[in-house]
Amino acid sequence: MEVKEYIVEEADKLFCQYGFKSVTMDDIAKHLGISKKTIYQHFSDKNELVNILIEDRLNCQECLTQESAKNADNAVEEIFYSLVSMNQSLANMNPKMFYDLQKYHPQAWIFFKEFKEKALGKSIRKNLERGITEGVYREDIKIDILTQLRLDHVEIIFNNHSHYIMDKYNIAQVMIEITEHFLYGICNDKGLNLLKNYKQQTLEKTKN
């Protein structure tokens, strides 16, 4: 791994734990066991480091979303694949990250907003269309409305996380619960049977 990639990866761990504002370049250098000068050889400032980190995260998430769609046997399984990757990326994330991102790193926040509205919105719409075509989602659902609803779920959780987390849940747990609730609303009988099976499989994997 190149030094620049290593710095981004390790800085990401600190940001996830403490948020963007609380972590300084000195903290990152100390965590890495290198001089701050070495970091500045690769990044002009903390803002550039955050921008690159967020772009990398979003690109990775887009690839995972595409892989979920490609590997899933049906639209319902696609959602469960996404939930697994979501749990891995969000489970240990400090909710403060999104507040800090919006307030202190506006360019990175723009990256996130564009990803949500374009890449994420496109994948949600395609999944809804797929589910209807496969006969696992209700034929009468309004795709435009439900696509926007799912995007609003993301917005609500990231911007109003304190209403849901209450020191009991992490962001991933909240998103998974809301996503399952969403699926129960759009699945027909065939889709509900798939949903039940995938939930059971997920529980068994968690126990093992």
**CA-only gyration radius of the chain, Å:** 19
Rounded to the nearest angstrom, the gap between the alpha carbon of residue 32 and the centroid of all alpha carbons in its chain is 26
Task: Name the fold adopted by 57-207.
Answer: Tetracycline Repressor; domain 2 (1.10.357)
Residue 132 in this model has a pLDDT that exceeds 70:
yes
CA-to-CA distance for 90 and 106, rounded, in angstroms?
21
Note the pLDDT of residue 206: 47
Q: Give the residue-averaged pLDDT of 45-67.
A: 93
CA distances from 96 to 5, 29, 45, 161 (A): 24, 22, 21, 9
10 Å Cβ neighbour count for 37?
8
Q: Which residues pair with 33 in a beta bridge?
A: none
Residue 90 in this model has a pLDDT that exceeds 80:
no
Task: Give residue-wise pLDDT tens across range 17-42.
Answer: 999 999 999 999 999 999 999 999 99
Domain extents for the chain?
Answer: 57-207
Residue 78 in this model has a pLDDT that exceeds 50:
yes
Share of the chain above pLDDT 70, in %: 92
Structure tokens at 85: 């990757």
Note the pLDDT of residue 174: 85
Note the pLDDT of residue 83: 84
Cβ neighbours for 97, distance < 8 A, ≥ 6 positions apart? 15, 16, 19, 20
Q: Are 58 and 111 in contact (CB under 8 A)?
A: yes
Can you give the pTM of this predicted structure? Answer: 0.88
Confidence category of residue 203, pLDDT binned at 50, 70, 90:
low
Residue 4 in this model has a pLDDT that exceeds 60:
yes
Task: Give residue-wise pLDDT tens across range 99-114.
Answer: 899 999 999 999 999 9
